[in-house]
Each structure stands twice: as structure tokens, then as C-alpha cells.
Amino acid sequence: MAETFIAQQMLDQEMIARIGRRDQSAFSALYDRMSGPLYSMAMRMLGDPAEAQDALQDVFLQIWSRAGTYDPEQSSVFSWTVLLTRSRVIDRLRARGRRSRVVVASTEDTPTTVTGDASTVESAADTAQKNDEAARVRHVLNNLPSEQREAIELAFFEHLSHHEIAARLGQPLGTVKARIRRGLLKLRERLNNL
């Protein structure tokens, strides 16, 4: 498992290095690997396929133009692309001012769903490995204390600030901060130990 993880990280970093040198085949391979999870996240946050696709397009064009700025000391390639996507999605949420209408979906295991004219076979193959990882993350997340999971989901997927989460849940600010911190630390620890 660790060997696979390290190999994957190495492959991702090599792809980013190639993209930095304008290698379109490396870009295409990275797209195949990352687009499923990034699109799923954008859809969960935006709840609108057209907007999620526009956000994803922005993100991949950003990856194409900014691959040279990726710093492996700061995060893995996958986390870097997640943070880029989240940032673009949040820009869109702010622009349309409809945070309150965000679709909140369940984190239960769900089969991969294809939207529109997806190239099912090819994309599904690249997503197969991510689906395993997704099942692990959902398992760990669903086994966190519910108050920690709730605080993390509100922060990550709805981009509520800790002040807004405290107000929504009717809890003191310090309690909400501690829930987010404990939940995130547990998530990391349990994912590392699986």
C-alpha cells in the first residue's frame, strides 16, 4: 500500500514536471487521473453541472499555466489540485452569492455516475483506483464522531467560516474550532493507518 502510494505520488510529481515543460500527453494523463474526484467535489459544492464544468476548466487551465509553481514540500499533487479547485469553486459561490442554496449530498458510498457524454470506459478505468480511496475516506469520515464530521463537512464543502458554523450549530466558537481540529487530525491519522 505504502509502495503504491509513494509510486503514485512520484508519478504525479513527474507529470507535473512534464506539464511545466508544456507536455500535453502528461497533462492529458493527469486530467484522466484527477478530473473525476475534482469534478465530484465541485458538483457537491456548486450543485450545478455547467458551473462545475466551468470551474474544472478554469482549474485545469490553471494547472497548465502554473505547474511550475507547484511545491512538493507544501502538499501532494492531488491535494494541490483539490485546493485549487476549492478556491475556484469558492470564487464562484461568492460571485453568485447563493451559498445557502448549495446542495448538501450524503457521504454514503455511491456508485460512480456519469454525466452527459462522458467517455465511460476510459474515465472509469482511471477512476477505479480513486474509487477505492474514496471508499476508504468515506468509511473513515463516517466513523468520526458525528459532531466532528458535521463541522468538517460544513467547513470543507459549504465553506462556512468557523464563526458561521458556530452560529448554525449554536455552539461556542472554541468548541467548533476544537471539533474541526480533532476531526481533521483523526481523519489524517486513520487514513494513514488503513
**Near other proteins in 112-131, by CB under 8 A:** 112-131
CA–CA distance, 71 with 84 (Å, rounded to integer): 13
- Of 99, 65, 102, 105, the closest CA to residue 84 belongs to 65
Q: Contact between 70 and other proteins (CB under 8 A)?
A: no
* Using rule CB under 8 A, residue 104 touches other proteins: no
Residue of 8, 47, 66, 169 that binds other proteins (CB under 8 A):
8
**Minimum distance from CB of 174 to other proteins (Å)?**
8
Binding of residue 171 to other proteins (CB under 8 A): no
**For the CA atoms of the chain, what is the radius of gyration?**
17
* C-alpha cell at position 73: 514540500
Q: Which positions from 75 through 94 interact with other proteins, judged by CB under 8 A?
A: 75-76, 78-80, 82-83, 85-87, 90
User: What burial class does residue 138 get, using C-beta atoms within 10 Å of its C-beta: 0-12 exposed, 13-18 middle, 19+ buried?
Assistant: middle
Near other proteins in 24-43, by CB under 8 A: 24-29, 31-32, 35-41, 43
Beta-carbon contacts of residue 134 (< 8 Å; ≥ 6 apart): 37
Residue whose cell numbers read 475556484: 88
Which CB, 73 or 100, lies closer to other proteins? Answer: 73
Tell me which of 88, 134, 158, 166 binds other proteins, using CB under 8 A. Answer: 134
| Of 67, 93, 102, 187, the one binding other proteins by CB under 8 A | 187
Long-range CB contacts for residues 115-120, cutoff 8 Å, separation at least 24: 115/49, 116/49
- Binding residues for other proteins, rule CB under 8 A, total 98
Check binding of 178 to other proteins (CB under 8 A): yes
